[in-house]
């Protein structure tokens, strides 16, 4: 299945692109997608998910809503990965 | 539009006008502005980046939640993005209610939720360099 991954703010700068489409195994979870992304972009492994509780500070959304890491993805989903927000 | 992400300056009068009804006795307004200082550094401007589709959806969810959580009549949330020099408005929240207490509480709750949840990020351009702001952290660009 295909998913679109979007990166924002500092993570966009680190990865060097704002969006990519990936072919991934059917029915993977958000956590499994993140493992794929860490392999694909070592900078994510080294600079974003480097700490022990590596998911604590990273936000992930699926189709415009915050998502849990054990949620299962579907074909056509848009997953966004971004740092803690700082609006207002 | 009661929820809006925009690059344009906004009119506070225009926003209040959208919410005016005879049943209301109170309009509480929170207006954010780009400040000239942050963590002891002199700020010249903020550059706001957003995930626009999700930011608007999340602001709409905050508005709906405020309407069910508090005894208010209405709420408006407008957020700006792009390059905003010192003195520019950044965010406007208006809560209307029959009585002031509920309007104050809802407005205060809503700005806290925006800062926690809405996917917007600021970069501070200062005399000591440019920094991404992530929650409470300042990270050199």
ipTM of the complex: 0.92
What is the number of domains present in chain A? 1
Residue A21 lies in a domain: yes
pLDDT higher than threshold 80 for residue A49: yes
Give me the number of domains chain B comprises: 1
Task: Kindly identify which residue of chain A lies nearest to residue B139, measuring between CA atoms.
Answer: A10
Strands A65-66 and B3-6: unpaired
Q: Is residue A87 part of a domain?
A: no
Cα–Cα distance, B40 to B36 (Å, whole number) = 10
Full residue range of the structural domain in which residue B54 is found: 3-140
| Residue numbers of A between 21 and 50 with CB closer than 8 Å to B | none
Q: Give the whole-angstrom CA distance, residue A76 versus residue B59.
A: 24
Q: Does A76 fall in a domain?
A: yes
**pTM of this structure:** 0.94
Share of chain A above pLDDT 90, in %: 85
- Residue A76 lies in domain: 2-82
Q: Which CATH number does the domain housing residue A64 bear? A: 3.10.20.30
Q: Is residue A45 in a domain?
A: yes
Is pLDDT of A34 > 70?
Answer: yes
CATH for B73 = 3.90.1170.40
Report if residue A25 sits inside a domain. yes
| Average pLDDT estimate for B97-117 | 98
Distances (CA, A) of A69 to A28, B58, B133: 11, 19, 24
What is the distance in angstroms between the Cα of A86 and the nearest Cα belonging to chain B?
5
Question: What are the phi and psi torsion angles at B91 (to 5°)?
Answer: -150, 145
């Amino acid at each position: 299945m295909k998913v679109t991954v979007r990166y924002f703010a500092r993570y966009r700068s680190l990865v060097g692109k704002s969006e990519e489409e990936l072919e991934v195994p059917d029915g993977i979870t958000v956590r499994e997608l993140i493992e794929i992304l860490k392999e694909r972009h070592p900078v994510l492994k080294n600079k974003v998910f480097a700490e022990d509780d590596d998911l604590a500070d990273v936000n992930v959304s699926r189709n415009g809503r915050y998502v849990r890491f054990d949620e299962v993805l579907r074909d056509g989903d848009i997953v966004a990965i971004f740092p803690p927000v700082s609006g207002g | 539009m009661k929820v809006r992400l925009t690059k344009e300056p906004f009119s506070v009068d225009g926003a209040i006008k959208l919410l005016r009804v005879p049943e209301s006795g109170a309009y509480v307004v929170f207006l954010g502005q780009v400040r000239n200082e942050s963590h002891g550094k002199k700020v010249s401007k903020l550059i706001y980046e957003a995930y626009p589709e999700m930011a608007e959806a999340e602001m709409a969810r905050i508005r709906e939640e405020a309407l069910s959580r508090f005894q208010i009549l209405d709420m408006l949330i407008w957020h700006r993005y792009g390059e905003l020099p010192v003195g520019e408005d950044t965010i406007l929240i208006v809560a209307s209610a029959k009585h002031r207490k509920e309007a104050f509480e809802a407005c205060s709750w809503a700005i806290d939720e925006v800062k926690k949840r809405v996917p917007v990020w600021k970069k501070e351009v200062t005399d000591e360099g440019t920094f991404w702001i992530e929650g409470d952290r300042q990270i050199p660009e």
